[in-house]
Amino acid sequence: MTDEEGSVAQRSEAVVIVGGAIVGSSIAYFLRELGFAGVITVIERDPTYQRSSTALSAASIRTQFGTPVNIHMSLFGAAFFRSIRERFGRDADIGFVERGYLILGGPEAVEARRAGVEMQRGEGADVAALTPVEAQARFPWLNVEDLGVATTARRDEGWFDAWSLLSLMRRGARDRDVSYVEGNAEAITVAGGRVTGVRLSGGGEIKADWCINAAGPASAAIVRDLGIALPVSARKRTVFGIKTPLERSGFPMLFDISGAWIRPEGEGFICGIAPTDDNDPDATGDFEPAHALLEETLWPALAHRIPALEQLRVERAWAGHYEVNTFDHNGIVGRHDEIENLVFATGFSGHGVMHAPATGRGIAELIVHGGFKAIDLSPLGFGRIRSGTPLHETVVY
């Protein structure tokens, strides 16, 4: 097919994106950027986004991953964040604080973590390993008595305002004639081995030449009737906003050995910890903060690592959902292996917001060009789910 023939075909094609939060809106935005001229419809069941994973996330970005493709997605995302004003205007701002994560490890982890740093550096991340003495010299408030290693990045890591990013992406898509429809995608209709449309629960069906499942924690339910077992589940994560006498200046996004994390936010800090595996069920519909985590697990861990945190005051708490890929904690990105016009962009297991720009670009390339160009996202394809060959992400929080 020539470029001209492809352009003619795309002008008559209709893309339906199920899920209008940051991943779905990024896909819509990049489709237009790459010149897709057909109809683009985004179905979003909650246009307020009050309970979306995007709006409730801790909104951070890191290059310290165990899977090379995730590193490249983060590098793309960080570059995108730095170009926000060039893309959306001089008043555009997502509050990107480019400050490295500080990820701690015990003495038993030194060899593996240093090997991980070498791999990350080989993939283009500016990451360094610190001894406990070096870590304490840089962060005097840190208790290093049981540490063996700390790793951090000099660039391409930090945090940002997810709501501002979503607002810009959504506006950028709508300004380019992308339609947002309020509704609940009840089912995907298939005929002759191809998606033909998306049926809404209130009645009606939207025609689709391409259907992109970017529905986050709800993505498995949407394809269940097609006999597709998508290993994606909603898992609740609670975030606590605290005040403490600890100095915020220069404070990184800290991940402790215990799994506890903390970073500055506003005039205080936000922090959290995942529940244990045996207390982490599917949380569909459950947005009640797990207050018990603070006193039972999180506060003791933080106070051990940062003695100044023995004094803190909780000011607020909220819970959001990770769309956890229980198979290997990596995103599922690309075409279904049998229904080729059904495309997945889900299962990111907590790193969907940071990887939304790279995912949006990749899915747009897949539709416009027939394959990935900027980053090879094929390792994240659905085929590994079918064949039972996981691509495990080892750096998970």
Per residue in 301-331, pLDDT (tens digit) is 999 999 999 999 999 999 999 999 999 999 9
The three-state (H, E, C) secondary structure of 50-113, written as one string: CCCCCCCCCCEECCCCCCHHHHHHHHHHHHHHHCHHHHHCCCCCCCCEECCEEEEECHHHHHHH
Residues 179 and 307 in one domain: no
Q: Where residue 1 falls among pLDDT bands split at 50, 70, 90?
A: very low
Residues 369 and 357 in one domain: yes
Q: Where residue 3 falls among pLDDT bands split at 50, 70, 90?
A: low
CATH of the domain at 218: 3.50.50.60
C-alpha pair distances (Å), 153 with each of 63, 103, 105, 130: 8, 10, 15, 11
pLDDT one-digit tens code per residue, 354-378: 999 999 999 999 999 999 999 999 9
CATH of the domain at 317: 3.30.9.10
Q: What does DSSP say about strands 342-346 and 210-213: parallel, antiparallel, or unpaired?
A: parallel
Residues 242 and 259 in one domain: yes
Residues 239 and 153 in one domain: yes
Residues 238 and 154 in one domain: yes
Residues 260 and 314 in one domain: yes
Both tokens assigned to 246: 């600890």
Structure letter (DSSP) for residue 337? S
Average pLDDT over residues 44-54: 92
The total of structural domains in the chain comes to 2
CB 48 within 8 A of CB 333: no
Rounded distance between C-alpha atoms, residue 320 and residue 200, angstroms = 25
Range of the domain at 137: 98-158+234-325
pLDDT one-digit tens code per residue, 126-163: 999 999 999 999 999 999 999 999 999 999 999 999 99
In a domain, 87, yes or no: no
* Domain limit, last residue, from 276, 296, 325: 325
Phi, psi of 174 (to 5 degrees): -65, -35
Nearest to 14 by CA among 32, 34, 40, 33: 40
C-alpha pair distances (Å), 147 with each of 8, 113, 173, 375: 60, 12, 46, 35
Average pLDDT over residues 45-49: 92
Nearest to 188 by CA among 178, 175, 176, 197: 197
* Domain limit, last residue, from 306, 325, 344: 325
Question: Residue written as tokens 């030194």?
Answer: 110
Residues 177 and 321 in one domain: no
Residues 313 and 175 in one domain: no
pTM over 0.85: yes
